[in-house]
Amino acid sequence: TEKTVGFIGLGRMGAPMAGNLARAGYKLVLFDRQSDITNRLAEQCGGRAATTPAEVGRSASVVITMLPDSTAVRQVVLGDGREWGIADAAPVGTIFVDMSSSAPADTRGLAGELQQRSLSLIDAPVSGGVAKAVSGTLTIITGGEPALIESISPLLLAMGSSCIHAGPIGAAHAMKALNNYVSAAGLAAASEALRIGSTFGIDPAVMVDIFNASTGRNNSTENKFHQFILPQTFASGFSLGLMAKDLDLARDLADTSGEFAPLLKRCAELWRQAAEALGPDADHTEFIRFTRN
């Protein structure tokens, strides 16, 4: 099992990330609760399809999770009372790498529970979206023991172009939530400005070009408006429900810290309302369609 890597959660991000590991020569054992997805990917990248999380634990020395949230991560790693978890079958020394955008406090709790079984956990969430997952150029933010992270850095760099260490376990998940708050606030601000400007009579495409040549530019004006929002394809591959979840995580962090964060709190509320109005499966770039609450 030297080079066998377990990969759990084969959705819009997990599938292309696992594909890049296969191309880099890693042997994969795959699991997603949607078995058709697991089987299709196993066929495409020559990996083995597992039928339970525990089966992954028995075969891999490193186990990556790319699941929606901490609840799903906990369920597959520790089991849920109905089914065994990966940790129940994993040999001592197995390294868990949670690349999902999870809740930092839950990540710390999970690390403690795994440590009692002599298993270790790294948080390694990613930024860059589906396009960079496909091209293997994600930014990977890491949290945990530096020596442990170093030991799997070739594996991480098969999925991303850079790894940045945020701090001890949970710090990367905290940083990911905070990054997505800043990103969501930028998208929301540009969306509001665009609606106001176009009612004033300014061409939306011209507005985006002016932002991009001026100080109002941000990642959304540079990468999302011309591609997904103006042509109304809304095909970024990152859902509104997952972005609202990230803002909830950032707001929880703010509450715990006691810091003054009125903009974050209002933003979290707005994105939650948008996810309720448009549905969690809408693309996050559809936020511009949310106009009333």
Q: By the criterion CB under 6 A, which residues form the site for ligand NAD? A: 8-14, 32-34, 37, 66-69, 72, 75-76, 100-101, 126, 129-130, 237-238, 242
Residues contacting 269, CB < 8 A, separation 6+: none
- Least Å distance between CB 214 and ligand NAD? 27
Which segments of 116-239 does DSSP mark as H helices, in order?
Answer: 129-135, 146-151, 153-157, 171-200, 204-212, 219-223
In a 13 Å sphere around the CA of 154, the CA atoms on its Cβ side amount to: 6
Query: Which is closer to ligand NAD, CB of 74 or CB of 108?
Result: 74
Name the 3-class secondary structure at 249: helix
- Least Å distance between CB 42 and ligand NAD? 14
Longest dimension (CA), the chain: 65
Query: Which is closer to ligand NAD, CB of 76 or CB of 208?
Result: 76
Query: Which is closer to ligand NAD, CB of 6 or CB of 129?
Result: 129
The backbone torsions φ and ψ at residue 194, rounded to the nearest 5 degrees and listed phi first, read -65, -40
In a 13 Å sphere around the CA of 110, the CA atoms on its Cβ side amount to: 32
Q: Which of the residues are catalytic? A: 176
Query: Which is closer to ligand NAD, CB of 9 or CB of 144?
Result: 9
Is there a contact between 181 and 247 (Cβ–Cβ < 8 Å)?
A: yes
d(CA 197, CA 202): 6
Query: Which is closer to ligand NAD, CB of 134 or CB of 208?
Result: 134
- Least Å distance between CB 156 and ligand NAD? 15
Which segments of 12-69 does DSSP mark as H helices, in order?
Answer: 14-23, 35-45, 53-59
- Least Å distance between CB 180 and ligand NAD? 8
CA proximity to 136, closest of 281, 260, 18, 274 = 18
- Least Å distance between CB 148 and ligand NAD? 21
Query: Which is closer to ligand NAD, CB of 207 or CB of 240?
Result: 240
d(CA 61, CA 5): 6
Residue number, nearest CB to ligand NAD:
11
- Least Å distance between CB 158 and ligand NAD? 17
d(CA 150, CA 35): 33
